[in-house]
Structure 1
Amino acid sequence: MRLNLFNIFKAELNKYWIEIKTYYPDHIVNIIVTYIFFTGFFLGFRNNSMIDDSYYIGFLYWFFVSNVISEASVSISFEKQIGTLEQLILKPVSLEVICLVKTLVWLMITSIKAIILLLIIKLTLPINIVFDIKVVPILIITLTGLLGFSLLLAGLTLRFTKTASFESILSYILLFFTGAIVNIDNMPKLVRFISKTLPLTNGILISQRLINNESVSISQIFSLCLNSLLYLVVGILLFKYINKKSKTEGIYNEY
């Protein structure tokens, strides 16, 4: 099992590296568009009290999320269109594990892009990029929960093939309603309640407190761990259910 996982990880890493070398202009454009997006909001809010040393964290989290949660579904959609989905299903490891490996590899690549983006922001914008190493484990815990979203989108792709609209809606919901750019205390009560159930919201709040040298309790971190674990487990269960139902109804036979 370990050897199979290693081989899958190595194969996916080689595949993405080839794609990056081939389609590198797409990645450059992605960084430029995100930079323009961040600059617009930064200049718009620069006289607002929410602009502080931790302001960039919300955008950093969203950059990871917007790039990572859709990767498994995009890959599944591509495999279905070129007729190789059956080969994935016949591999000695489950399809959800393959999706998780794809997402983890893409997360590594996104981390490199995020570092490049932060360097460009630091060199070109009048913003003080303050970093605390303790943010890294919080980011990892938060993204673990968001893998559940990734699996859910991958499951929907198994069922419906094209889910780009779902991904766009989810991405912008997570941008505007998790505290990434707008303080959640200024949101309506219902939106605020729903927002606080998301691991991304909790991860952003904890990271901002760490960067601003504010205290973070063990209970807050423990709550984030439970929150992320819940979303991951629910994502896995929903993916398994959709995958099983798709097999039962013979949807895979079309590919």
Structure 2
Amino acid sequence: MRNLKLLGAEIVKIMGDLKAYWFNYLFGNLNVFFLFLGIFYAFQKSNGTAIDTFNLLIGLMIWYYGVHAIDLIAIIIEEEAEEGTLEQIFVTRSSFIKVLFNRIMSQIIFDTIKGVFVFVLCVITFKIPFSFIKSINWLWTLIIFFLTLSGLYGIGYAVAGLSIIYKKTTAVAGTCSNLLLFFTGIIIDLDKLPKAFIYLSKVLPLHWGMNTLNDLIRNDFQLFKIVRSSNFIYLIISCLFWILFGVFIFKICEEKARIKGTLNQY
């Protein structure tokens, strides 16, 4: 019940921001749309099949969510530290992990509200047939989508841990975001990349998530074929690794800051 109240409070806060600054958010969404549109035409995906175009769009949407997944927690910590309230959150009755979880969930809900708008615009502009959109099993597609996203939040926890120590890590988050966009096969085929980036791509959950989604579509959404595939297994392994690694780095950095007494310094 307490978690629901915390989540409700975060949602009310975000919806209040949306109501107050709707004009800015509108143009923010249009900015994302024009970015997607530029990528779509720059990489000549307009000549691909409906499946290729849809895979590109899904990849861009995961990247859109993933940018927030990587930098959200770090931004929260930086803002709280700047206001001098970070240490107070760590000593509240609710654990800091729960507070972060509720903020993450509210941000996902908010991103979804904005993302649907961008997605519909892209479907129309990219000329993806409505019959193809109807044929998609959205339940399994979204399960794989958010499973992939969970691994990116693991990376976000690691970046957030660094922000406790180094205070400013937005450049690290920006580097991770660029790696996800350009070096995981979303817009550039992996066989066109140097081997070092191919190996790097295969460490990240987005690569395996995109491969799994592609397998799902090409196998007519027969999930029993997908769960036994190597792509899905590697996706699970990659997500678990990054979640555990991210939380581990976060806790190590938190403990180090507590020992040094720099938890609330900015």
**Normalising to structure 2: TM-score of the pair?**
0.86
Report the Cα offset of residue 253 of structure 1: 4.8
Task: Please give the alpha-carbon distance, in whole angstroms, between the structure 1 residues aligned to 2:97 and 2:123.
Answer: 38
User: Of the candidates 112, 122, 132, which is equivalent to residue 137 of structure 2?
Assistant: 132
Report the AA paired with residue 218 of structure 1. Answer: R
Report the Cα offset of residue 57 of structure 1: 1.6
Report the Cα offset of residue 245 of structure 1: 0.5
Task: Please give the alpha-carbon distance, in whole angstroms, between the structure 2 residues aligned to 1:47 and 1:102.
Answer: 37
Residue-by-residue CA offset, 1:170-195 (whole Å, 9 max, x unaligned): 11111001111111222222211221
Report the AA paired with residue 205 of structure 1. Answer: N
Report the Cα offset of residue 20 of structure 1: 2.0
Residue-by-residue CA offset, 1:90-124 (whole Å, 9 max, x unaligned): 21233233223211221121122211111111233
User: Of the candidates 202, 208, 223, which is equivalent to residue 234 of structure 2?
Assistant: 223
Counterparts of residues 1-255 of structure 1 (less than 5 Å): 3-44=1-42, 45-46=44-45, 51-128=52-129, 130=133, 131-133=136-138, 134-213=140-219, 216-220=226-230, 221-254=232-265
Is the CA contact 2:59–2:186 (under 8 Å) kept in the aligned structure 1? yes
Is the CA contact 2:66–2:153 (under 8 Å) kept in the aligned structure 1? no
Task: Please give the alpha-carbon distance, in whole angstroms, between the structure 2 residues aligned to 1:234 and 1:63.
Answer: 22
Is the CA contact 2:33–2:118 (under 8 Å) kept in the aligned structure 1? yes
Task: Please give the alpha-carbon distance, in whole angstroms, between the structure 2 residues aligned to 1:176 and 1:138.
Answer: 21
Report the Cα offset of residue 49 of structure 1: 5.1
Is the CA contact 2:155–2:246 (under 8 Å) kept in the aligned structure 1? yes
Residue-by-residue CA offset, 1:25-75 (whole Å, 9 max, x unaligned): 332232111111111121121366584442212111111111332111112
Report the AA paired with residue 195 of structure 1. Answer: S
Paired-residue identity, %: 26
Unaligned runs of 5+ in 1: none
Task: Please give the alpha-carbon distance, in whole angstroms, between the structure 1 residues aligned to 2:264 and 2:243.
Answer: 29
RMSD over aligned Cα, in angstroms?
2.1
In structure 2, the residue corresponding to 1:91 is in which secondary structure?
Answer: coil
Unaligned runs of 5+ in 2: none
**Normalising to structure 1: TM-score of the pair?**
0.90
**Closer, same or farther in 2 for the Cα pair 1:63/1:253, shift >3 Å?**
closer
Please say which of residues 241-250 and 75-84 is displaced more in the overlay. Answer: 75-84
Task: Please give the alpha-carbon distance, in whole angstroms, between the structure 2 residues aligned to 1:27 and 1:94.
Answer: 31
Please say which of residues 170-179 and 202-211 is displaced more in the overlay. Answer: 202-211
Report the AA paired with residue 132 of structure 1. Answer: N
Task: Please give the alpha-carbon distance, in whole angstroms, between the structure 1 residues aligned to 2:54 and 2:89.
Answer: 45
Report the Cα offset of residue 238 of structure 1: 0.6
**Closer, same or farther in 2 for the Cα pair 1:125/1:47, shift >3 Å?**
closer
Runs of 4+ in 1 over 4 A off after TM superposition: 47-51
In structure 2, the residue corresponding to 1:162 is in which secondary structure?
Answer: coil
Report the AA paired with residue 208 of structure 1. Answer: N
Task: Please give the alpha-carbon distance, in whole angstroms, between the structure 1 residues aligned to 2:54 and 2:78.
Answer: 40
Residue-by-residue CA offset, 1:196-220 (whole Å, 9 max, x unaligned): 1211110011112323446635243
Please say which of residues 14-23 and 132-141 is displaced more in the overlay. Answer: 14-23
In structure 2, the residue corresponding to 1:251 is in which secondary structure?
Answer: coil
**Closer, same or farther in 2 for the Cα pair 1:47/1:120, shift >3 Å?**
closer
Is the CA contact 2:57–2:122 (under 8 Å) kept in the aligned structure 1? no
Is the CA contact 1:96–1:151 (under 8 Å) kept in the aligned structure 2? no
